[in-house]
Structure 1
């Protein structure tokens, strides 16, 4: 009995020992697998992702240390303040402050404004905004080392708000390296340096919020939007990327919100520097057309045969495009055998050419491709003043209120056409009201404009409009051809008919 118990005990002991050994061996084997090269890979990736989330990989203190010496303060003085208040590119009418420092200045006495700039070559050439030095009779520059000296205007371009000034007799000045604004991406870290409200060499940091923003000129504007703080006095200062390169010239702020600033892309400045140095001004090629993109709504409503290009909305009378035979509704698809995808692309390529040069266009008209050659003229200077707002007067003439499109229109008479300064032979109906929350309201149709056509069908009277509106069904997309007296330009607007 005792012997049998002993044998059972020995057997159980051996079994337990075997199992413990197997578990231990498995554990060692598993540990050796986990210690191998495959499981180690996730660890560094996790650390890398974490570091990217926690902050930028650049030390902006190093960037600022390199660039700050090239940033300058600019004081611009005129003999007297203009009597009229103008709206500058900051988006806010001229205030007496914060541009002015010290005691309140006499309107008829000297007027002093302040801004920023940055040195781009060792002999003292400085980039800034045109609106910083516009009409200035004396320009004073203060360097980062405290030296103050006079500067002169080399050239300026109001259309892009860029100016080149220079301090003479200098060598070995610190220079801000210029980058490539075309390589920017939304969300990229940037910093701004300038003199907001007179606080010299202030540094702010943010990201690129948007690229290609249009503010003042729908054709040439291509602003970088950033949430890096920009205030009065920052104008003309550099916007800098994480590599320590200037990629923009701080130029404007929103008057309705904070943390919304805008900078001119540096590529726009480098492109015109040769002209500013050589002639003091910039000339650009010009065709004389108003353009818009081809989008799905336009393609559907006009039954277009192409889905890309620049669609001609209006042609200026007597312009190169007019003489060459371009018409509204033509779609430009290529320029010198280079495909045109958007209207912005065509505008920039034409503007980059010299006046007097030839541009070979391919375009689609009524479904058929054609070609013409346009001899470019010089782009006219931007008008300094806005046309006075024209508000239609009440009239007893026949009107029509339409629930389908949300418009109230009336026939044009000679008196109204003269008051609105409409082009001769303009035929259409005057839009006297746009119903809120209607499809026309959503489509950007404005009161006081003239409706010329709907889906290329002439609208010359209230009766014509009524027939076109009644023929529209819910879900239809209509293209309205509009003349805006304020812009002195024809435009194409698309609206989607709603079930009312």
Structure 2
């Protein structure tokens, strides 16, 4: 549990720590001035909900993470076997192998069913070797992991008790308003049940932690150890799961983030029933529609998601969706941005058919796509046409030079034979191309709406684009990924 994610350079996740916190003196506050608002009494609410909030203690191998935990176990077993064989071969008798160290950490959870179903964070318990849950009265129970979803950072546990347990219910996060009072309950720094209060500071926060970011922001004090704890409204309903904080110091500075119940509830339901989350899969790589991309495609607005690449044999490919399309609606629901499309498709059932509204070459059209399953590991790179060499061309108007993809360049860049286009040989510092992040080694595969398979073809299309004096949309291939970039020509 020592590993935490970051928001920019300063985000500290509320992953529980067992290290003691420094105790600071508290100064006596001056008497309240006449006319000041009296703090709201939350004692009845706290007494009602805190019995359902539990401490979650986990044990796992030190330095384990999502990608290394299984390999660490395998390596440990191989080392043990090697040491035993070594001892037997040289007659040294049985040798003891020092086991990998264990690491303990603390978090928070809350009971949502009297039978003992508990919700917490994936980063608290999703990869634990053992889990112990402690009730407010000190009773301890071993817990079983029913399921966990890393993308939304949610895990569901189960404990067995000889009596019905206190529990809380989810509320409707869609009804939450900025400024609404809220109360958080958790296990900060392992101190046990702690109640803090504040307001909803913002909704729909994207902290760049994953594709489903839609956090409730609150100024209620949330610290390490609060991970997985509930955020309550004044009716005692859970409207969020406290998950992350923004903190230069590691402690609360009034910027806490909770997964809204509108996202958590369907995930929890699937984890309870299936142990995993099934999501619809369209099979496209997408990127935001910037103002320059919008201008280059004459879209009139920036809402929607630009299709950078379509995976072979995917639902999108079968539906006829093409690279360069701008998806603007799904089943009649407007798509405002990349996150909106990701959440909308993921919420649909695998195998269901959805209507995709898109713009292609300035024309509105609708296609139907039968979604795949995101859990089926449908990952493949798009097929490309055979390469075709061209001649060297200079493009001072955009700030880069072009060259053919020679066998030497293909080997140096590790390009497959199927990758074709025009090689960017150099980028002028401070040029329009430089400002958009283009660099030597990028492959231009499309200029505007036209595919190009050589430097000569790209040069011709760029000359045409220059005359329009508008940003030109380039499809760029780099290190196995494609995306679109709108580059403006220099002013005359």
TM-score normalised according to structure 2 size? 0.70
Answer yes or no: is 1:426 the counterpart of 2:422.
no
Moved more, 262-271 or 440-449: 440-449
Aligned partner (choices 72, 76, 81) of residue 54 of structure 2: 72
1:297 corresponds to which residue?
292
1:327 corresponds to which residue?
322
2:208 corresponds to which residue?
215
Residues 56-78 of structure 1 deviation map (CA, whole Å, 9 limit, x = unaligned): 97445554343322221111123
Aligned partner (choices 59, 66, 81) of residue 62 of structure 2: 81
Aligned partner (choices 169, 172, 175) of residue 177 of structure 1: 169
Answer yes or no: is 1:283 the counterpart of 2:278.
yes
1:499 to 1:243, Cα distance in 2 relative to 1, 3 A: farther
Offset at residue 176 of structure 1 (A): 2.9
Do the aligned residues in 2 keep the contact of 1:209 with 1:227 (CA within 8 Å)?
no
1:162 corresponds to which residue?
154
Residues 126-182 of structure 1 deviation map (CA, whole Å, 9 limit, x = unaligned): 100112112323210011111111111122212211111111135442323322222
Moved more, 313-322 or 64-73: 64-73
2:192 corresponds to which residue?
200
Aligned partner (choices 211, 216, 237) of residue 229 of structure 2: 237
Uncovered stretches (5+) of structure 2, i.e. residues with no partner = 1-33, 70-97, 379-390
Residues 50-449 of structure 1: pairs in structure 2 closer than 5 A: 58-78=40-60, 80-81=61-62, 108-206=100-198, 207-218=200-211, 220-254=212-246, 259=253, 260-294=255-289, 296-304=291-299, 308-380=303-375, 405=398, 412-414=405-407, 417=410, 422=415, 425-429=418-422, 439-440=432-433, 443=436, 449=442
Do the aligned residues in 1 keep the contact of 2:361 with 2:449 (CA within 8 Å)?
no
Q: What is the CA–CA distance in structure 2 between the aligned matches of 1:70 and 1:140, rounded to whole Å?
A: 15
Offset at residue 436 of structure 1 (A): 7.0
Offset at residue 469 of structure 1 (A): 7.9
3-state SS of 1:111 partner: strand
Offset at residue 344 of structure 1 (A): 3.4
Do the aligned residues in 2 keep the contact of 1:224 with 1:263 (CA within 8 Å)?
yes
Do the aligned residues in 2 keep the contact of 1:115 with 1:236 (CA within 8 Å)?
yes
3-state SS of 1:427 partner: coil
Do the aligned residues in 2 keep the contact of 1:116 with 1:128 (CA within 8 Å)?
yes
Do the aligned residues in 2 keep the contact of 1:400 with 1:408 (CA within 8 Å)?
yes
Do the aligned residues in 2 keep the contact of 1:58 with 1:242 (CA within 8 Å)?
no
3-state SS of 2:257 partner: strand
2:448 corresponds to which residue?
455
Do the aligned residues in 2 keep the contact of 1:198 with 1:233 (CA within 8 Å)?
yes
Residues 444-468 of structure 1 deviation map (CA, whole Å, 9 limit, x = unaligned): 5577654433433546566666673
1:214 to 1:280, Cα distance in 2 relative to 1, 3 A: same
Residues 237-282 of structure 1 deviation map (CA, whole Å, 9 limit, x = unaligned): 1233454432221223447576344322221111123321221111
Instruction: Tell me how many residue pairs correspond in the alignment.
Output: 414
**Whose relative contact order is higher, 1 or 2, with alpha carbons under 8 Å and at least 6 apart?**
2
1:480 corresponds to which residue?
474
Do the aligned residues in 2 keep the contact of 1:124 with 1:171 (CA within 8 Å)?
no
Offset at residue 81 of structure 1 (A): 3.3
1:450 to 1:199, Cα distance in 2 relative to 1, 3 A: farther
Offset at residue 376 of structure 1 (A): 1.2
Do the aligned residues in 2 keep the contact of 1:310 with 1:340 (CA within 8 Å)?
yes
Q: What is the CA–CA distance in structure 1 between the aligned matches of 2:312 and 2:330, rounded to whole Å?
A: 22
Do the aligned residues in 2 keep the contact of 1:434 with 1:446 (CA within 8 Å)?
yes
Residues 74-111 of structure 1 deviation map (CA, whole Å, 9 limit, x = unaligned): 11123x335679799xxxxxxxxxxxxxxxxx981333
Larger radius of gyration: 1
3-state SS of 1:232 partner: coil
Do the aligned residues in 2 keep the contact of 1:427 with 1:452 (CA within 8 Å)?
yes
Residues 266-305 of structure 1 deviation map (CA, whole Å, 9 limit, x = unaligned): 2111112332122111111111012345454323211237
Do the aligned residues in 2 keep the contact of 1:455 with 1:479 (CA within 8 Å)?
yes
Q: What is the CA–CA distance in structure 1 between the aligned matches of 2:231 and 2:404, rounded to whole Å?
A: 52
Uncovered stretches (5+) of structure 1, i.e. residues with no partner = 1-49, 89-105, 384-397
Do the aligned residues in 1 keep the contact of 2:280 with 2:350 (CA within 8 Å)?
yes
1:478 to 1:65, Cα distance in 2 relative to 1, 3 A: farther
1:241 to 1:334, Cα distance in 2 relative to 1, 3 A: same
TM-score normalised according to structure 1 size? 0.69
Residues 378-415 of structure 1 deviation map (CA, whole Å, 9 limit, x = unaligned): 014789xxxxxxxxxxxxxx999977555577654446
3-state SS of 2:341 partner: helix
Offset at residue 476 of structure 1 (A): 3.7
